[in-house]
Chains A and B, each alone.
Chain A
Amino acid sequence: MRRAEHHSRALQTVVAAVVVAALAFAIALATFLPANQDTLRVNLNSIGTSAAEGLTLARGDDESRLTRNFYDVELELLRDDLDHVVANLGHARPLPELRGRFAEATALAGSASRALRALAVPGAPAESVVAGQATLVSITSRVDSLKQELER
């Protein structure tokens, strides 16, 4: 019984220490450090995946594979994600050498959100849907290039 208590106490101490250390690390990271390449990469990933999913949804809608509610709600959730990205990047204090890329990422997120809005309008003219899709294609491509530049 004592050995079991000892094991259990040791496990709980380790768990508590890990939780406290990780939380302290996360708070320090969020509060004191300027936004770095990782912050940018996380937000670029969100922009890229939202744009890519928007394009896939548009294709599915064209091919009548999706229900209207599903299509609308998915697009709205993706737009919300992009609006969060715009807000996150807007509040970030980037390192001086990354300011230009942060600004570009913010602009990309804003245009992706607008393009998704264009796709969501019921009975929208074909030209605006095609323009929205073209915007999303160019955004995914630019996001990939920015991510590659960050890797270098």
Chain B
Amino acid sequence: MSAFLQIFLGILTAMGGFVEVGELVFSVGAGAKFGYSLLWVVALGTLGIILFGEMAGRVAAVTKQPIFDWVRERAGFRMGLGTLLAANLVSLLTCAAEIGGISIVLRMMSGWPYRLLAILTFLALLAIVWFFAFKWIERFFGLLGLLMTVFVIAAIRLHPDWHAVGAGFVPQVPTLESPKDYLVYAYFAVSLLSSIMLPYETYFYASGAIEDGWQPHEVPMNRIVVTMGFVLGSALAVGLVIVGGQLLKPLGIDPQWPGAAALGPAFTMGRAGLIVALLGMLFAFGGAAVENALTGAYNTAQFLGWPWGKWRKPAGAPRFALAWIVMLTLAVLIILAGVNPIQVVEYSIVFSVLILPLTYLPLLMAAGDRRIMGAYVNNGPTKIAGWFFLALVTLAGLFALPLLVVTRGGKL
């Protein structure tokens, strides 16, 4: 495959895989509650995920070591184990939320019972991960996730005030009615940032780079793919915020379910828009479910030194295969137990921000170590940006849980 086509497909895949159920819920919710005033958080989160995504790919290409090798090496077994358990708990919750989201979307399309659809979703995901090669899993969900661009088209057709949209990218605290509204604003800012910088994205990206056998000379391609793919992907999140701000906010709708977001395409493009939106959500959530299940398996296998990789047959890496099967099984059991997937999303997003510093610190230190990285070590601006984002996510992590409790999950 030519380098150009590889870059093009990589960009599209990164774009299509950008949005998952948590980001959808928080982006539309942020727009519905606060109009465009949280768009700057989308921009900030995108810069953060580009920075750490690129770093994860670069470290993987140069050292052939994934993130959890670094976690164990830098933090030691006992402390690293804490990070592993926390990261896998978050991936499990996220995977459960995605399976719940898929089941809701399928129910909206078919009218079939929710629990039956959750079981069918589980079986379908199991089959896809079992039979498809890594590259095809990535491309299948990433490229079909591009149907989510219907939200960008809906946003444009809702004719927003583009001046106000532009002003939303400037960091701000808008004037709100009551002190409690400021707390809800802070909760949405933290959750939106976390939903964009979800830690599984870097774990998965680094593991994927090793699966694909990246070499140091591919570092510039990695940079282009990450930057272009995530910037275009963030356009989907911006589209969702605009749908929330332009359509749902004036109607007094604070979206409780993913279907509320689909009203944007439905009211601008009719039934065809609605169906495309539901299909886009289906593949976007499906991709995230698979990525989280695999991430749990990658993390565990890398930390414990088991053979891992989708390029190996399940018999060649049996404990790795068992780990992703267990992740998917536990996730579907959570949903079958009757837990509201949207509440699971909220918890997974908030717990994610708690473990972001634990993920990014070892990565930042590895990428900044000249003995390991040689010519590919972090340069000055990358170092400064890396430490800035580490401080930012640590600060966000400190406030995330108290804000979740005080604002009652942003519903105050």
Which residues of A approach B to under 8 Å, CB–CB?
A: 1, 4-5, 7-9, 11-12, 14-15, 18-19, 21-23, 25-26, 29, 38, 41-42, 45-46, 48-50, 52-53, 55-57, 60, 64-70, 72-74, 77-78, 81, 140, 144, 151
Docked-complex contact B271 and A67, CB < 8 angstroms: yes
Let me know if B155 is at the binding interface, CB within 8 A: no
Q: State in angstroms the CA–CA spacing of A65 and B326 once bound together.
A: 41
Would A14 and B398 be within 8 Å (CB), given that A4-B362, A56-B263, A69-B109 are in contact? yes
A-B contact pairs, 21 of them (CB 8 A): A1-B74, A8-B79, A8-B362, A11-B357, A12-B82, A12-B83, A15-B354, A15-B355, A18-B398, A25-B405, A38-B180, A41-B412, A49-B254, A52-B252, A53-B256, A67-B271, A68-B111, A70-B108, A77-B104, A77-B256, A144-B252
B89-111: CB near A (< 8 Å → 1, else 0) gives: 00000000000000010011111
B350-388: CB near A (< 8 Å → 1, else 0) gives: 000011011001100100000000000000000000000
Docked-complex contact B267 and A60, CB < 8 angstroms: yes
Residues in chain A near residue B197, CB distance under 8 A = none
Docked-complex contact A56 and B401, CB < 8 angstroms: no
- Report B224-258 residues with CB < 8 Å from chain A CB: 251-257
Q: Of A5, A52, A53, A144, which is in contact with the most chain B CB atoms at under 10 Å from its CB?
A: A53
Question: Measured between C-beta atoms, what is the minimum distance from A26 to chain B in Å?
Answer: 5
Docked-complex contact B76 and A38, CB < 8 angstroms: no
Residue from the list A1, A11, A38, A67 in contact with B408, Cβ < 8 A: A38
Let me know if B118 is at the binding interface, CB within 8 A: no
Residues in chain B near residue A64, CB distance under 8 A = 270-271
Docked-complex contact B404 and A22, CB < 8 angstroms: yes
Question: Measured between C-beta atoms, what is the minimum distance from A105 to chain B in Å?
Answer: 14
Docked-complex contact A46 and B252, CB < 8 angstroms: no
Across chains A and B, the number of contacting residue pairs, with CB separation under 8 Å, is: 141
Docked-complex contact A50 and B256, CB < 8 angstroms: yes
Would A66 and B271 be within 8 Å (CB), given that A9-B79, A74-B108, A77-B257 are in contact? yes
Docked-complex contact A4 and B358, CB < 8 angstroms: no
B176-191: CB near A (< 8 Å → 1, else 0) gives: 0110100000000000
Docked-complex contact A70 and B270, CB < 8 angstroms: no
Residue from the list B82, B83, B354, B411 in contact with A45, Cβ < 8 A: B411
Residues in chain A near residue B76, CB distance under 8 A = 5, 8
Residues in chain B near residue A38, CB distance under 8 A = 180, 408, 412
Would A12 and B358 be within 8 Å (CB), given that A5-B79, A74-B259 are in contact? yes
Question: Measured between C-beta atoms, what is the minimum distance from B33 to chain A in Å?
Answer: 10
Let me know if B275 is at the binding interface, CB within 8 A: yes
Question: Measured between C-beta atoms, what is the minimum distance from A151 to chain B in Å?
Answer: 6
Let me know if B274 is at the binding interface, CB within 8 A: yes
Which residues of B approach A to under 8 Å, CB–CB?
A: 74-76, 79, 82-83, 86, 104, 107-111, 177-178, 180, 251-257, 259-260, 262-263, 266-267, 270-271, 274-275, 278, 354-355, 357-358, 361-362, 365, 394, 397-398, 401-402, 404-405, 408, 411-412
Question: Measured between C-beta atoms, what is the minimum distance from B386 to chain A in Å?
Answer: 14
Residue from the list B82, B111, B253, B358 in contact with A53, Cβ < 8 A: B253
Q: Of B104, B108, B275, which is in contact with the most chain A CB atoms at under 10 Å from its CB?
A: B108
Residues in chain B near residue A77, CB distance under 8 A = 104, 256-257, 259
Docked-complex contact B405 and A18, CB < 8 angstroms: no
Question: Measured between C-beta atoms, what is the minimum distance from B233 to chain A in Å?
Answer: 26
Question: Measured between C-beta atoms, what is the minimum distance from B157 to chain A in Å?
Answer: 13
Docked-complex contact A4 and B75, CB < 8 angstroms: yes
Residues in chain B near residue A14, CB distance under 8 A = 394, 398
Residues in chain B near residue A9, CB distance under 8 A = 75, 79
Docked-complex contact B256 and A11, CB < 8 angstroms: no
Residues in chain B near residue A26, CB distance under 8 A = 405
Nearest chain B residue, comparing its CB with the CB of A23: B401
Given contacts A48-B252, A65-B274, A70-B262, 18 further A-B contacts (CB under 8 A): A1-B74, A5-B76, A8-B75, A11-B357, A21-B401, A22-B401, A38-B180, A46-B411, A49-B254, A56-B263, A65-B267, A69-B107, A69-B109, A70-B274, A73-B111, A77-B104, A77-B259, A140-B252
Residues in chain A near residue B394, CB distance under 8 A = 11, 14
Docked-complex contact A4 and B259, CB < 8 angstroms: no
Residues in chain A near residue B253, CB distance under 8 A = 49, 52-53, 56
Q: State in angstroms the CA–CA spacing of A26 and B402 once bound together.
A: 9
Residues in chain B near residue A42, CB distance under 8 A = 408, 411-412
Docked-complex contact A7 and B361, CB < 8 angstroms: yes
Residues in chain A near residue B251, CB distance under 8 A = 52-53, 55-56
Would A12 and B79 be within 8 Å (CB), given that A42-B412, A66-B266, A74-B108 are in contact? yes
Question: Measured between C-beta atoms, what is the minimum distance from A50 to chain B in Å?
Answer: 7
Docked-complex contact A74 and B257, CB < 8 angstroms: yes
Question: Measured between C-beta atoms, what is the minimum distance from B52 to chain A in Å?
Answer: 16
